[in-house]
Structure 1
């Protein structure tokens, strides 16, 4: 019985922690949030471009200093782009066919010299429930 209670508490805690990282609501720039490491990535679809913000643990202070972003559109074939720095976010190209035929977007990011695992966004983009 104690084992079942411990498992239930662990599952409840995990669910609460995962939603605490913003995947179930829009980020401060109106985008989709993932936490691939010691920071958050926020993907904002701007039509012909993608903006990627590298946010701290409090969903604030976007930075491009000592940072880099690479984006891969995955589907039947993969298309990879490097992203260019703006004042406090990165601008990434979209494939000429928009996002048709792609199943996910994978973002590899380094924020302030801290490398994270790839952040994966399923397509079509939507909030996690």
Structure 2
């Protein structure tokens, strides 16, 4: 193999491994769905009635932080976009929408910032499904 082929193979290996190791195929430490929108993890729990608990975790799935952090959440429904109200809890955000909205074909859209680090937008079909690793948001 020439040097160019070795370099290309090394690049493919290096850039493919992080995608497989994000941990999005396992429940988070609080039992929720995990996504990695940047240099941190987001754990999402559906509490029912258009209410969600959002943890902003570090790269090691720990240390939920509210310091210099925020979450903007909205639902996309057949009627358009509906903003959710997100308030801080003890170590997470609680985002609440209108519980009377039609549940069919909704999408939860999150724009997280953890400790001044802005993550990519996360889009999740509702109801949330426990993931087996096949439904990744790789926009980093």
Per the TM superposition, whether the score is higher than 0.5 is: yes
| Residue correspondences, number | 127
Q: 1:63 aligns with which of 55, 62, 65?
A: 65
Q: What residue in structure 1 maps to residue 138 of structure 2? A: none
Q: What SS does the aligned partner of 1:18 have?
A: helix
Q: What residue in structure 2 maps to residue 50 of structure 1? A: 52
Q: Which has the larger radius of gyration?
A: 2
Compute the RMSD of aligned alpha carbons.
Answer: 2.4
Q: Which runs of 4+ in 1 moved over 6 A?
A: none
Q: Pick closer, same or farther for the CA change 1:78–1:62 going to 2, 3 Å.
A: same
Q: What residue in structure 1 maps to residue 26 of structure 2? A: 25
**TM-score, normalisation: structure 1:** 0.82
Unaligned segments of structure 1, at least 5 residues: none
Unaligned segments of structure 2, at least 5 residues: 135-140
Deviations 1:39-81 (A, max 9, x none): 1111001113200000000000001111111111123211112
Q: 1:109 aligns with which of 108, 112, 123?
A: 112
Q: What residue in structure 1 maps to residue 97 of structure 2? A: 94
Deviations 1:62-121 (A, max 9, x none): 01111111111123211112300011000011332263331x211111111111111222
Q: Pick closer, same or farther for the CA change 1:8–1:99 going to 2, 3 Å.
A: farther
